[in-house]
Chains A and B, each alone.
Chain A
C-alpha cells in the first residue's frame, strides 16, 4: 500500500507582530520572518539616516512636535529611537526655558542665555532626514506585512 506523504505544516506567522517588531527596530520584522540579511541592511541604513538627521540639526530642533508640524508623525515611525530623541529634546527645551527665566529675573546676564535651536538650513535638513527615515521604516513595516501574508498563503517571499 503506497504511503501518502504529508507535507510538513508551515508555521503561520503573524503580520501585525512582524510590523510591530519593525516599528520597535527597523529590520527586526524581516529578521523575525527569516530574512536576516535584509533586516540587517534595513536596520543600518534607516538608523544611520535618522541619527544623521539628528546630528545635522541637533536633537532640540529636529524632534520638535510643536514646531515641525506633521513631520513628527513621520519621525515617530522610527519607534523607540524617536521616543528617546524626543525625551532628550524635551530636556533641552526645559534647560532653555529655565535659562530664559533666569535671564528675565535678572539672575543671569543675557549673554548666559542657553539656546540649542539650529539656524536655517541645518534644522530643516535634519528634520527632513529624520522624517524620511521614519517614512522608510513605514515602508518596511508595510513590506513585512505583505511578505508574511505571502508566506502564510504558501507563496514566494
Chain B
C-alpha cells in the first residue's frame, strides 16, 4: 500500500527526448477513445485507432519540422 502511495505522491523526472516521447501514449489514448466512440463495430477499433495515432504523430512532426525550418531561416 505504501509503495502504491509512493507511485502517485512522488513525481517522475523527465529529461531530453522523453519530453517528446511522452506525447505518443497521450495521442494513443485520444485515438482509442475517439475510435471507440466512432466505430460501429469494436473489432475495427485497434487498427483504425493505430492509424489515427500514427497520422496525428506524423502531422505534428511535419508541423514541428516546418516551424523549425521557418525559425532557422528567420533567425
Stretch in A2-10, A12-20, A103-111, A116-124 touching the partner? A116-124
Distance of A147 Cα from B34 Cα, bound (Å): 15
Do A42 and B36 touch across chains, with their CB atoms under 8 A apart? Answer: yes
A55 an interface residue at 8 Å Cβ cutoff? yes
B30 on interface, CB distance cutoff 8 Å: yes
Whether A143 contacts B37 in the complex (CB less than 8 A), given A41-B32, A52-B25, comes out as: yes
Kindly list chain A residues whose C-beta atoms are within 8 Å of the C-beta of B71: none
Cross-chain contact A56 with B32 (CB below 8 angstroms)? no
Contact call B32/A122, Cβ cutoff below 8 A: no
Q: Among the listed A37, A38, A48, A122, which residue makes an inter-chain contact with B29, where contact means beta carbons less than 8 Å apart?
A: A48
Complex formed: what's the CA distance from A57 to B11 in Å?
A: 5
Contacts of B11 in A (CB 8 A): 56-58, 61, 116, 118-119, 122-123, 126
Whether A41 lies near B10 (C-beta < 8 A) is no
Distance of A46 Cα from B7 Cα, bound (Å): 18
Is there contact, CB below 8 Å, between B25 and A45?
no
Taking a contact as CB atoms under 8 Å apart, the answer to whether B42 and A38 are in contact is yes
Number of A-B residue pairs, CB cutoff 8 Å, is: 77
Chain B contacts for A118, CB-based, 8 A: 11
From A45, A60, A125, B14 is in contact (CB under 8 Å) with A125
Once bound together, how far apart are the Cα atoms of A132 and B33, in whole Å? 11
Q: List B contacts of A92 (CB < 8 A).
A: 9
Tell me if B14 and A121 are in contact (CB < 8 A).
yes
In the bound assembly, the distance between CA atoms of A85 and B32 in angstroms comes to 24
Assess A55 versus B33: contact at CB under 8 Å? Given A49-B26, A121-B19, A132-B26.
no
Taking A38-B42, A49-B29, A133-B29 as contacts, is the C-beta distance between A55 and B7 under 8 angstroms? yes
Residues of B within 8 A of A51 (CB): 8
Complexed CA–CA distance, A30 and B15 (Å): 39
Q: Are A41 and B14 neighbours in the complex by a CB distance under 8 Å?
A: no
Q: Counting CB contacts under 8 A, is A54 at the interface?
A: yes
Which residue, A56, A122, A139, has most C-beta atoms of chain B within 10 A?
A122
Q: Which residue of A lies closest to B29 (CB)?
A: A49
Chain A residues with Cβ under 8 A from B34's Cβ? 139
* A to B CB contacts below 8 Å, 6 in the list: A42-B37, A59-B8, A122-B11, A122-B14, A123-B11, A143-B37
